[in-house]
Amino acid sequence: MMEAANRLARILGSVPPRLCNISESDAALRSAPGRWSKKEILGHLIDSAGNNHQRFVRAQFVPSLEFPNYEQEAWVAAQAYATEPWPDLVNLWLLLNRHLVHIIEAMPEASFAHECAIGGKAPVALSALIEDYVAHLEHHLDQILCGAGLP
């Protein structure tokens, strides 16, 4: 798990200046109708950090835990990320993820085997959830930095 924490720390050391170089207007631009803007994609990553913060902390206390599903479209719309200032979104994303690195580094090794079920899906080890989180983050940062949008 330290590799996942190190990977996330490296991202946090190199990506924020690149995000800060994106203008407010470019961050707000949608690549096509029905696609998320860079602001909304970063907002989705903020939601992911918040949801995973809960998972990473709570899963340490019990061997098995179930979490609700994340309704990404509703969450992104409800929080109006499209109208939030880009620098604020970048800072919030950065600080949440710095804290996640800290949590992973402090986590007792025995916790990594604890199982988490999300939205009624089959349980996975907390270690797999952490690795998947970092891969998910990398995927969406690539979209932001390379210009692709989601829904």
- pLDDT tens for the chain, residues 1 to 151: 799 999 999 999 999 999 999 999 999 999 899 999 999 999 999 999 999 999 999 999 999 999 999 999 999 999 999 999 999 999 999 999 999 999 999 999 999 999 999 999 999 999 999 999 999 999 999 999 995 554 4
42 neighbors 81 (Cβ within 8 angstroms): yes
Find tokens 């061997």 and name the residue: 63
Dihedral of CA 123/58/113/130: which sign? Answer: positive
List the chain domain ranges.
2-145
Does the predicted TM-score (pTM) go above 0.75? Answer: yes
Burial (0-12, 13-18, 19+ Cβ within 10 Å), 106: exposed
| Paired strand residues for 118 | 67
Domain 2-145 sits in CATH 1.20.120.450: yes
Q: Which of 106, 112, 109, 111 is nearest to 131 (CA)?
A: 112
pLDDT at 133: 98
pLDDT at 147: 59
d(CA 78, CA 43): 11
34 neighbors 151 (Cβ within 8 angstroms): yes
d(CA 65, CA 111): 12
pLDDT at 150: 47
pLDDT at 1: 79
pLDDT at 31: 85
